[in-house]
Chains A and B, each alone.
Chain A
Amino acid sequence: MSKVAFPFLTLSDSLVECDGFLIGEPGHPMNKAEEFLQAWDYSRKLGASVTIGFDYDSACKALGFEPGDAALKLIFKMGTGKGAMPRRWETLTDRVVSASEDLPVTLTADLQSHTLSGSIRLRVEIVLASRPKVVSELSPKHPGSRLWAKEHVILIEDGGDSRFPVELVSFSESFNGEVESGALWYLQWISEDVDVDFSGAVRVYVNSDQEKFSERFVEGDDLTIHVLMFDVISQMIEAVIATERFDDLLPECEEGSVGKQVLYWLENAFPGRSLTEVRRLRTDNPARFRAAILASAQPGVFA
């Protein structure tokens, strides 16, 4: 259970059946919680569950209680925050059991994604709910005594830092009366610097007013994302190669910068070609130039 030397009897892992934690979207079938949760951000709907079973009478015996004399509380908790110790703990739900018929128990809870950070630590524990009438010398006596626990840590994306910077907004509100208001998407980027952090400098806004398109985008439709990424990559490559002032700067750009990302896209679309060659292709054969980018702009092309 842990490295703590408990001053009272506890339940061994062999007495408690628990296959681990499930996580997923509430209302949908959940998956076994792994070490890493893909595609998380603050807006994602999440739920978790865990099932515990044990022979109640055997548990009472192991704790030095008379069978039927003890009430045990099953607690499902969640911690969050980076580091060895969560910055915040929250009790999601609990259940008191006092007979074998109460078991097994499945504890389920919604997780508030907007309050999460860095990692999710799911914990289920069994504690003493109330002091039994008859106890042995080594029995736990105080309510809350920790008897058994299981934990699982899930790393969540670092606030979405390995995802493409994107936001769903109503263009009729955000760009009211502007030329962008009817667009399907809009790439916001000022192409003055290439050595700035990509996630801070670039953002794609998807128009939530365009319901069909935005629904497909949210669902992760491959073709929709392919077309959108083609446009984004084209815009950024063209802006960067439009001027020679970035040529020396690009190779110096660090991981995570705009320049590094554009270099990755260039290498993907035009493998082995120099910036000068790509620039010439764009001028001499723009259709081929664009087709090369279109072919390379598969979903997942964000490095």
Chain B
Amino acid sequence: MKNVALLPRLSDQGVAMFKNSLRNKEIPEASFYAPYIWYASSGGSPSPTKSNEIADTIREFAMAAGFPESRGAKYAEFDQNVAVYLATNECFSSGEALRNDVWAYLAVVKLPDVVKWRFPSDASNRYLGGVKNAFQRLWIRGVAVDLGEEAPDRWKLLRALTEDASGQVLERTSIASDIRLARNIALVWLQVADKLGRGRMENVTRRAVKELRLLNEVVDLSSLPDDELLKRIIALFINASN
């Protein structure tokens, strides 16, 4: 039986306190949140040390990318490094990774300064759990585009996808919830982008993804074998580019 690392979670009350502090432009110290931190009661081992290690590693990636300075910050490099790190971290291979409160803890309690550096606008959805969370979105991205240990260039999709394409494809739960579908869309996106040029891809991706979501309502794309699935996605992108 797998021993799940139970990660610290920030309760709804803790999130509410954070929202208040964000409105007042004050970021409290981590100790302020102590009453609002909790763990699953059973089913694994509480792992605050592992959570600290994860936060420390993300901070190191941020510093290597220029944190705390925003001028000249290498955000794309930071995003890629963190996405690979989170997607391959054993702690996130359990249901803990699907919990918003786990990601809210990381962003609000451990790394609010890094979130502020990466997303200076103070948008609360970058801190709170969800597909827009500063780190959760990178975990989703890393898992979805991971071509596997055996692949000659495992992370080529991660490097290739633009921020817009990642948002269009991977920050939509209806697509990202099916990893095989998301990965195949990313593969097709790369092929089409190589032909059309990345400059045209924003509109093409938007149209193709819209059609794909409609198609998925009436055709279960996840039931198709890989070759058939790729054909359907390619057809949608070609159609969207005309």
Question: A residues near B, CB below 8 A?
Answer: 4, 6-8, 41-44, 73, 75, 77, 79-83, 85-89, 91, 94, 113-118, 125, 127, 142-146, 159-167, 169, 193, 195-200, 203, 254, 256-257
A87 and B175 alpha carbons, distance in the complex (Å): 9
Q: How far is the CB of A127 from chain B (nearest CB, A)?
A: 5
Whether B94 and A42, one on each chain, are in contact in the complex, defined by CB atoms closer than 8 angstroms, is: yes
Q: How far is the CB of B144 from chain A (nearest CB, A)?
A: 11
Whether B35 and A160, one on each chain, are in contact in the complex, defined by CB atoms closer than 8 angstroms, is: no
Whether A80 and B222, one on each chain, are in contact in the complex, defined by CB atoms closer than 8 angstroms, is: no
- Encoded as 1 (CB less than 8 Å from any A CB) or 0, chain B from 1 to 27 comes to 110101011010100000000000000
**A159 with B98, Cβ < 8 A, contacts A89-B177, A91-B222 known:** no
Whether B177 and A42, one on each chain, are in contact in the complex, defined by CB atoms closer than 8 angstroms, is: no
Whether B218 and A161, one on each chain, are in contact in the complex, defined by CB atoms closer than 8 angstroms, is: no
A7 and B45 alpha carbons, distance in the complex (Å): 50
A234 and B41 alpha carbons, distance in the complex (Å): 20
Residues of B38-80 whose CB lies within 8 A of A: 38-46
Whether B46 and A115, one on each chain, are in contact in the complex, defined by CB atoms closer than 8 angstroms, is: no
Residues in chain A near residue B178, CB distance under 8 A: 89
Whether B98 and A88, one on each chain, are in contact in the complex, defined by CB atoms closer than 8 angstroms, is: yes
A4 and B37 alpha carbons, distance in the complex (Å): 42
Is residue B29 contacting chain A, with contact meaning CB distance below 8 A? no
Q: How far is the CB of B50 from chain A (nearest CB, A)?
A: 15
Closest to A39 in B: B42
Q: Which among A7, A114, A125 is the interface contact of B4 at CB below 8 angstroms?
A: A114
Whether B34 and A146, one on each chain, are in contact in the complex, defined by CB atoms closer than 8 angstroms, is: no
Q: Which among B8, B45, B100, B173 is the interface contact of A200 at CB below 8 angstroms?
A: B8
16 further contact pairs, Cβ within 8 A, besides A42-B4, A114-B2: A4-B218, A42-B43, A42-B95, A43-B1, A81-B177, A87-B173, A114-B44, A159-B96, A160-B41, A163-B42, A165-B41, A167-B42, A197-B36, A198-B38, A199-B38, A200-B37
Q: Which among A8, A127, A199 is the interface contact of B40 at CB below 8 angstroms?
A: A199
Residues in chain B near residue A167, CB distance under 8 A: 42, 44-45
- Main secondary structure, interface of A, reads loop
Is residue B174 contacting chain A, with contact meaning CB distance below 8 A? yes
Whether A165 and B99, one on each chain, are in contact in the complex, defined by CB atoms closer than 8 angstroms, is: no
Residues in chain B near residue A87, CB distance under 8 A: 98, 173, 176-177
Q: Report the interface size class on chain B.
A: 35 or more
Question: B residues near A, CB below 8 A?
Answer: 1-2, 4, 6, 8-9, 11, 13, 34-46, 93-96, 98-100, 173-174, 176-179, 217-224, 228
Q: How far is the CB of A30 from chain B (nearest CB, A)?
A: 20
A203 and B99 alpha carbons, distance in the complex (Å): 21
Closest to A163 in B: B41
Whether A116 and B177, one on each chain, are in contact in the complex, defined by CB atoms closer than 8 angstroms, is: no
Whether A159 and B223, one on each chain, are in contact in the complex, defined by CB atoms closer than 8 angstroms, is: no
A193 and B178 alpha carbons, distance in the complex (Å): 44
A69 and B94 alpha carbons, distance in the complex (Å): 43
Residues in chain A near residue B11, CB distance under 8 A: 197, 256
Whether A256 and B44, one on each chain, are in contact in the complex, defined by CB atoms closer than 8 angstroms, is: no
Q: How far is the CB of B219 from chain A (nearest CB, A)?
A: 4
Whether B42 and A75, one on each chain, are in contact in the complex, defined by CB atoms closer than 8 angstroms, is: no
Q: How far is the CB of B84 from chain A (nearest CB, A)?
A: 20
Whether A159 and B37, one on each chain, are in contact in the complex, defined by CB atoms closer than 8 angstroms, is: no
**A144 with B219, Cβ < 8 A, contacts A115-B95, A118-B98 known:** yes
A115 and B44 alpha carbons, distance in the complex (Å): 12
Q: How far is the CB of B2 from chain A (nearest CB, A)?
A: 5
**A200 with B99, Cβ < 8 A, contacts A75-B220, A144-B220 known:** no
Residues in chain B near residue A163, CB distance under 8 A: 41-42
Q: Which among B8, B34, B40, B177 is the interface contact of A196 at CB below 8 angstroms?
A: B34
Most buried by A among B45, B94, B176, B179: B94
Whether A200 and B219, one on each chain, are in contact in the complex, defined by CB atoms closer than 8 angstroms, is: no
Closest to B4 in A: A42
A70 and B187 alpha carbons, distance in the complex (Å): 32
Whether A165 and B4, one on each chain, are in contact in the complex, defined by CB atoms closer than 8 angstroms, is: no
Rank and list the top 5 A-B pairs by shortest CB-CB distance, nearest first.
A41-B43, A42-B43, A117-B95, A159-B40, A117-B98
Q: Which among A144, A193, A200 is the interface contact of B38 at CB below 8 angstroms?
A: A200
**A203 with B224, Cβ < 8 A, contacts A42-B94, A88-B177 known:** no
Q: How far is the CB of B111 from chain A (nearest CB, A)?
A: 19
Closest to B140 in A: A87
Whether A166 and B41, one on each chain, are in contact in the complex, defined by CB atoms closer than 8 angstroms, is: yes
Q: How far is the CB of B18 from chain A (nearest CB, A)?
A: 16
Residues in chain A near residue B221, CB distance under 8 A: 144
**A159 with B177, Cβ < 8 A, contacts A145-B218, A200-B38 known:** no
Whether A160 and B218, one on each chain, are in contact in the complex, defined by CB atoms closer than 8 angstroms, is: no
Whether A200 and B220, one on each chain, are in contact in the complex, defined by CB atoms closer than 8 angstroms, is: no
Closest to B9 in A: A159
